[in-house]
Structure 1
Amino acid sequence: MRASGVVNEPRTARGAETKRRIFAAAEEVFSEQGYLQASVSRITERAGVGQGTFYLYFASKLDLFEALVDDLNQRVRHAMTEGAARGTTRAEAEAEGFRAFFAFTAEHPALYRVVREAEQVAPGAMRRHYERIVEGYVDGLTRAKVAGQIGDVDPEVAAWALMGIGELVGMRWVLWPHQDGEEAPRVPDAVFDQMMRLIRGALAAKEEA
């Protein structure tokens, strides 16, 4: 299975902008209507492009869906990486990375529905989404372990656990309030502090003899 549904990469700034508009429209339509109800015509109408233009870049609705999963993944990883870079210790990097993730989720709530639908529609794309996030996490945790900033934890296990924490906290305090009509929902400070207290304790934990 190929990693992206893009048929032709745009070679001009105008082409790149057209593809960006298709992605933005697809994000909205797939989130609002779901994969089965969404159609190429609805997406192109929302994007303001013709169907002929659509097929210059994507072979089908499924190709676009898979490419959208990859695109959202790339953007959320970029946001998290930029956030984590603001920290000077691993604990600070975790906190800033999570803040960036929650901010991205608030701006792009479609991330949740698209990734969950991918489990049935494009399982390979869903798996890539999580594995790519974990890959970056493992690298950072491994460096922190070598530097003595975290305890004797398995970086891969910790990475999957941390991703699960972030996803579920974001669902409860960002996605669900958004669905209930709350504008610009954010994780409350008290909730964030409790979450980070648990994470710091887990990463610093030492097994008892």
Structure 2
Amino acid sequence: MSQVSTLTKKKLTVRGQRTRLELLEAAEQVFGERGFEHSSISEITRRAGVALGTFYVYFPHKQAIFTELVDELGERLRETLNAASKDKTTRLEKERAGFRAFFEFAGKHRNLYRIVRQAEFVDAEVYHRYYKRLATSYSRGLTRAMQVKDIGTYDTEVIAYALMGIADFIGMRFVVWEDPAALERVTDEVVHFIQYGLLSPQRLGPLSGPLPASYGEGDKK
């Protein structure tokens, strides 16, 4: 989150923090439904249930609340992912928990994709910051796993962005575009791919552990 917004949050009363959150939640709805250009401060305050003048106590203009919203969503997402994976032992367990937590977060914040994509054109700096902070946190976890030989040796920034890309598109296809009824199966498929990759069992060579019973069934067809 930006330095200005962090300082502002620290100075707010409990009631002020609640009002700020209500404005951000309303902005998430409005920007997601109407897009930045067609959204208005009056509509945000109407949905938040506060007076128009109250908006300017917390944000100087429309772009300020948009930028704050992207930062806020990014912070909440990182906290959600960290909380979901912190008690897991292996990197693969952490990946499963993290992917599942991301899919659930995207299901709860169904305007997340629209808002983040708009950020590229509204405020490129916050757009880059959203992904860079997520990748930095991800990369740190991968580095720790690499240091204890839980995963192979990689450029962890590259792998972080690769895995983020998988999560991004799988979430869009199976969470945002339709009812995520098959979320468990989809998560299993993603983790399976992370563990074993694209190669068939015949080409994988020696493995440190057994393959799932269903693995390679496609090669028999």
Query: Same fold judged by TM-score > 0.5?
Result: yes
Helix, strand or coil at the partner of 2:177 = helix
Aligned AA (1:52): G
Matching of residues 163-178 of structure 1 within 5 Å: 163-177=164-178
- Give the aligned partner of residue 98 of structure 1: 99
User: Which of 184, 192, 195 is equivalent to 1:197?
Assistant: 192
In the aligned structure 1, how far is the partner of 2:149 from the partner of 2:8? 46
Specify every segment of 5 or more residues in structure 2 that has no aligned partner in the other structure, as ranges: 198-203, 206-221
1:186 deviates by 4.7
- Give the aligned partner of residue 20 of structure 1: 21
Matching of residues 5-154 of structure 1 within 5 Å: 6=5, 8-9=8-9, 10-154=11-155
Task: Classify 1:167/1:19 alpha carbon distance in 2 versus 1 (closer, same or farther; 3 Å).
Answer: same
RMSD (CA atoms)? 1.9
Task: Classify 1:191/1:11 alpha carbon distance in 2 versus 1 (closer, same or farther; 3 Å).
Answer: closer
- 1:88-118 per-residue CA deviation (whole Å, 9 max, x = no partner) reads 1110001101111111100001110000000
Contact 1:134 1:160 in 2 (8 A): yes
Q: Which has the larger radius of gyration?
A: 2
Percent of aligned pairs with the same amino acid = 42
1:194 deviates by 1.6
In the aligned structure 2, how far is the partner of 1:64 from the partner of 1:127? 17
- Give the aligned partner of residue 212 of structure 2: none
In the aligned structure 2, how far is the partner of 1:190 from the partner of 1:26? 33
- 1:13-38 per-residue CA deviation (whole Å, 9 max, x = no partner) reads 00000001000100011111111111
Please state if 1:188 is matched with 2:183.
Answer: yes
Aligned AA (2:191): M
1:198 deviates by 1.3
1:188 deviates by 3.1
1:86 deviates by 3.1
1:3 deviates by 2.8
